Structure 1
Amino acid sequence: MTHAELHADAFATLSAWTPPSHGQFSLREAYLGFLAARPDATARSCAPGHLTASAVVMSADRRSVLLTLHPRVGRWLQLGGHCEDGDSSLAAAAFREATEESGIDGLVMDPAPLDLDVHPITCSLGIPTRHFDVRFLVTAPPGAVAVISDESDDLRFWPVDALPPGTDASVTTLVAAAVARG
C-alpha cells in the first residue's frame, strides 16, 4: 500500500473513532488537522512529525501487559513503531510491530484505536520531531511466551497493577484504557 492509501486509511479510521474522553477528542481533532495539512503524515520522512502505530499487548486474562525496554529511550514502553510500505492500515502497522517485536503467534487485534499520544522524539531522522502515535489493543493467546527481538533490551509481561518502576504516565494510562475496554 502506498503512503497516500495509508494516509486515507488513517484519516478514515480516526474520523470514525469515538474518543473515550474530551482530551482524546481534542487529540483526534489535532491528528485530523495534521493529516489534512500533510499528505506525507504517515511517512517517517515527514520532519515536522509523523503518525506511528503501537500496540498494548495484553495477556489473554487481561492481568498482565507485555512491555519492551526500549534500547534508545531506556524506558518500558508498549510495542510499536513507524508505518512502513506495505502496511494496509494503521491497525495493520500496529499488528505487524506487535508480532515482530513480541515473537508471539496468534495475537488478536482490536481494529479500533484505543488511545492517542503525541510525544517529542529524535528518531531515525536524527533531528527532533514528534510521533503522533495511534495505539491499539492486541491480545495474546493463553500461555503466550514472548521472544526478545533486536528491537528490545528486555521484553516481559508485567502485572497490570505492578508496572515497572518509573513507568511513563502515558503507558500507565494506556494500560488502564486496555483493562477498561476488556
Structure 2
Amino acid sequence: MLLCYHRKGQFWVQVGGHVEPSDASLPDAALREAREESGLTDVRLVTTEPADLNRHELAAAFGACRAHWDVGYVALASTSDRVVVSDESEDVRWFDVDALPNDVPENLPSRVAYAIGRARSALG
C-alpha cells in the first residue's frame, strides 16, 4: 500500500486531496490526486465505486478546515514505478498491508482491511 507522511498531520496516510472544479467526477479527482501526490504515472482504479467513506475531525494545523470527509478508492499501480514526494508530504513509501507503520490514524488499519475486501469482490 502506498502511503504518504503528511506534512501537516505528521502521520502516514493514503494519498488524496480535494475535488477541483476541473474534475469531472469523484473517481477522476481520486486519480488526479493520486498522481499529483505520489508521482505515479500508471495508476488505475479497481472500480469507480468508493471502497471507503470516512468523516474525521482535523487538528488546528490544518487551518480553517476542521472536519474532513474521505471518499476512498482502491487503485492499482506498480511498486517499480518511481514515487515522488509532493509539497504536502515529507515522504512517500510502499508498505505491506499487514505491516503498516505505527504512526497512522487509529482507524486506518480497519479501513484498509475493508477496502481490500471491496477490491477483492470487484476483481472477482
Give, in whole Å, the separation in 2 of the partners of 1:126 and 1:104.
28
Q: Structure 1 residues 70-79 or 124-133, which shifts more? A: 124-133
Q: Do the aligned residues in 2 keep the contact of 1:70 with 1:152 (CA within 8 Å)?
A: yes
Aligned residues of 2:8 and 2:61 also touching (Cα < 8 A): no
Tell whether 2:40 aligns with 1:104: yes
TM-score, structure 1 as length reference: 0.59
Whether 2:81 is the aligned partner of 1:140: answer no
2:52–2:115 Cα contact (<8 Å) kept: no
Residue 124 (structure 1) shift: 9.3
Query: Which of 63, 82, 90 in structure 1 is aligned with 2:18?
Result: 82
Q: Distance in 1 between matches of 2:79 and 2:105?
A: 27
What is the RMSD of the two structures over their aligned residues, measured on CA atoms? 2.0
Instruction: Answer 1 or 2: which has greater helix percent.
Output: 1
Structure of higher CA gyration radius: 1
Q: How many angstroms does 1:127 deviate by?
A: 2.5
Q: TM-score when scaled to structure 2?
A: 0.84
Structure 1: gaps (5+ residues): 1-64
* Unpaired segments ≥5 residues, structure 2: none
Q: Is the 8 A contact 1:116 1:135 kept in 2?
A: yes
Task: Please point out which of 90, 106, 120 is paired with 1:153.
Answer: 90
Q: How many residues in Structure 1 have an aligned counterpart in Structure 2?
A: 118
